[in-house]
Structure 1
């Protein structure tokens, strides 16, 4: 690392183009990408290795500031015994510098209350804790494309979906930081016209959820009934109502109008963020009545601890045990949709609304003035009859 210092000039740094590495001396380099993005790196020897530290993107971090940061790193290495430059740089940041993780905490405190799902909030933080760790202690104005790549490369091939989500979350945070004037310049996590040139983007075969033949549903429902488990009642209820597992697991008695046989879910409980009413068939009402008479919790489907709902993972495990490894909630909902299309004369939009899907055609949009509750009630009763094998029950669907 010995040699001439301060080789670069401000004009040379500004004019640098094309993929190259410009040395300023003493371990400080200006890295230039094919697309012209620039960032500062400090290279050094430490415990038999040659690590490098990102000192920030250019021009957000000027040549003079990069030299100051490199000098702090060199001073740490010159001490006896030598100190880790990363620790020294972190300690020299000062109170006025906002680190990436400090901004994550600030941003999440402001934005998490508007997020729909607690599980989504936890997954957001968990992914950044696990995979954006190299950025945690960095000043948010010093993050460069190379720093982002250091987070993504280790998981890009084996955990592509996770890596893409992490990249998107980093980009969102850095956009917010720029809006608060905490950083300048292009977003180093931007994909189009930027990281897409540095990371392979092979098209992978899309894996669709396995469809469950609706002909198999009655036998599956019978196997569920043989299981004396709360999680089995959840899966039965999911099948009879077209609900998602998370919606059913967290259902509370206060959401039900048992006299009018309706389950009312508020917008914050729904994936689509819209209030939804679910008509209750005879079979769904029978499940609710059996649980209501012996209820011990505000939750319809309590877990081992009455104050907690049955776990979503427990319900999914029961689903696969009763149906097989290929059985998914999406598969159950698809089975209902296929059955409605092939075995009934109900319009497509009625079946879609039963699944809380948003309908898009002009004819379908007309239903948005209401929610076709009574039409859906007739459809769901027919479906319940099919699931339970109660083919003698008659439901008349009135047109109009």
Structure 2
């Protein structure tokens, strides 16, 4: 049986000066440990035992720190030591208990992360994933406008599906497409929060069986982008060439190539092969995520050469005038709107899609091209579809068209450019 230490008084403890461990009594295993000017209370306890193969008992001892002396008095140290020993008798490891408590506090602190903090990290990750800068900006803008004012500074672990439904409800009918995109973005933020264990349970922004019964579905009517009838395209191009600036050039290039505006905005001089008259768009900027080669007609080449000296070789072909960064859709939308208003003053009609009675859009010129190629040419459907970089159902056929039909597409784009310049209404 271990020898019981003499129970020292507070005054006796204060007089201890030598380095080492000094039993102070009152509680078995309680020591004052002195190392130079450092003094601290240590409780040595048995927290487990085992027998080896020879039947010999081995005790698992552990030192537990109880605080510095004299900040923790002798009486306080003995009280803490009694508490620790009581825990051990009840099968509790005090050190493991403390570690578990600290871990619980750490997890709780993490779960106090706000929706805004989690969303900002998701947006940062998305900036490396998304290829369209406009889409990245939309993430921030829509959350700042519709979500942050209500849920932005709330702990994400406390947000419920009812909270999400309430912030979406005001725009669910009037701006349904925007609201659906926002819901998807909120769901992505909660996926991140769940992965990081900031949130437990089912994703509150899920649609099926979750938000769907609360918000309900709306009947969607798909409408194509308003487009100009092809018999008016040459009039529009002539009007466009009267405008100064980089936006009219970008819009004309979009018309001549039948490409998407995002592909135009991101175009750089390194992508242009003037010798072979081909523009190669890397897969990162293509909707189908496949490299696309665009044959350039003579008017398209002349347009590029006319602005080649106005921009730096390493820059965008159609940079924003003030910043040199990428043009935005709004620049072309504004241009078309002003041209339409000017045209209305001249003949009261303007540039309208007669089927929708809506002002035309940049994207609508792709439909204009497709209607013209179907009605006015004999080029195969597959060739026309490949000009628009539409995904063909047959992968083998698509691969063949990318190579062998490039020459046919050159002819088609040359005919389109001639039509844009010369066709006159009867």
Q: Deviations over 1:157-212 (max 9, x none)?
A: 22211111111111122123223333222221111122111113231433332232
Q: Distance in 1 between matches of 2:167 and 2:271?
A: 43
Q: Deviations over 1:249-290 (max 9, x none)?
A: 332212111111111111222233222111110110111122
Greater Cα shift, 359-368 or 165-174 = 359-368
Pick one of 212, 231, 253 that aligns with 2:247. 231
Instruction: Pick closer, same or farther for the CA change 1:311–1:371 going to 2, 3 Å.
Output: farther
Q: Does 1:151 align with 2:193?
A: no
Bigger Cα Rg: 2
Q: Deviations over 1:43-91 (max 9, x none)?
A: xxxxxxxxxxxxxxxxxxxxxxxxxxxxxxxxxxxxxxxxxxxxxxxxx
Pick one of 375, 389, 393 that aligns with 2:422. 389
For 1:347, the equivalent position in structure 2 comes to 380
Q: Distance in 1 between matches of 2:110 and 2:198?
A: 14
For 2:339, the equivalent position in structure 1 comes to 322
Q: Does 1:115 align with 2:130?
A: yes
Q: Distance in 2 between matches of 1:373 and 1:127?
A: 41
For 1:301, the equivalent position in structure 2 comes to 318
For 1:73, the equivalent position in structure 2 comes to none
Instruction: Pick closer, same or farther for the CA change 1:371–1:310 going to 2, 3 Å.
Output: farther
Pick one of 281, 287, 295 that aligns with 1:265. 281
Runs of 4+ that moved beyond 4 A: 93-96, 293-297
For 1:137, the equivalent position in structure 2 comes to 153
Instruction: Pick closer, same or farther for the CA change 1:96–1:208 going to 2, 3 Å.
Output: closer
Instruction: After TM superposition, give the deviation of residue 94 of structure 1 in Å.
Output: 4.2
Q: Distance in 2 between matches of 1:265 and 1:169?
A: 28
Specify the SS of the correspondent of 1:237.
helix
For 2:368, the equivalent position in structure 1 comes to 335
Instruction: After TM superposition, give the deviation of residue 310 of structure 1 in Å.
Output: 4.4
Q: Does 1:356 align with 2:371?
A: no
Instruction: Pick closer, same or farther for the CA change 1:211–1:300 going to 2, 3 Å.
Output: closer
Q: Deviations over 1:83-106 (max 9, x none)?
A: xxxxxxxxxx74663222221122
Q: Deviations over 1:271-317 (max 9, x none)?
A: 33222111110110111122225545633234433733544322222
Q: Distance in 2 between matches of 1:177 and 1:144?
A: 13
Instruction: After TM superposition, give the deviation of residue 149 of structure 1 in Å.
Output: 1.4
Q: Distance in 1 between matches of 2:131 and 2:404?
A: 22
Unpaired runs of 5+ in structure 1? 1-92, 392-400
Within a 5 Å distance, the mapping from 1:286-297 to structure 2 comes to 286-295=302-311
Q: Does 1:105 align with 2:105?
A: no
Pick one of 403, 406, 410 that aligns with 1:373. 406
Instruction: After TM superposition, give the deviation of residue 152 of structure 1 in Å.
Output: 0.7
Alpha-carbon RMSD: 2.4
Q: Deviations over 1:211-240 (max 9, x none)?
A: 321111111111112223322111111110
For 1:3, the equivalent position in structure 2 comes to none
Q: Distance in 1 between matches of 2:258 and 2:267?
A: 14
Q: Deviations over 1:2-40 (max 9, x none)?
A: xxxxxxxxxxxxxxxxxxxxxxxxxxxxxxxxxxxxxxx
Specify the SS of the correspondent of 1:278.
strand
Q: Distance in 2 between matches of 1:305 and 1:127?
A: 25
Pick one of 209, 214, 220 that aligns with 1:198. 214
- Does the Cα contact within 8 Å between 1:232 and 1:319 map onto a contact in 2? no
Give the number of equivalent residue pairs: 299
Q: Distance in 2 between matches of 1:210 and 1:312?
A: 15
For 2:201, the equivalent position in structure 1 comes to 185
For 1:215, the equivalent position in structure 2 comes to 231
Q: Distance in 1 between matches of 2:364 and 2:112?
A: 50
Q: Deviations over 1:355-393 (max 9, x none)?
A: 1211114674353663732221111011111111189xx
Q: Distance in 2 between matches of 1:175 and 1:237?
A: 41
Instruction: Pick closer, same or farther for the CA change 1:108–1:279 going to 2, 3 Å.
Output: same
Specify the SS of the correspondent of 1:220.
helix
The two structures have a TM-score, normalised by structure 2, of 0.65
Q: Does 1:163 align with 2:179?
A: yes
Instruction: Pick closer, same or farther for the CA change 1:185–1:310 going to 2, 3 Å.
Output: closer
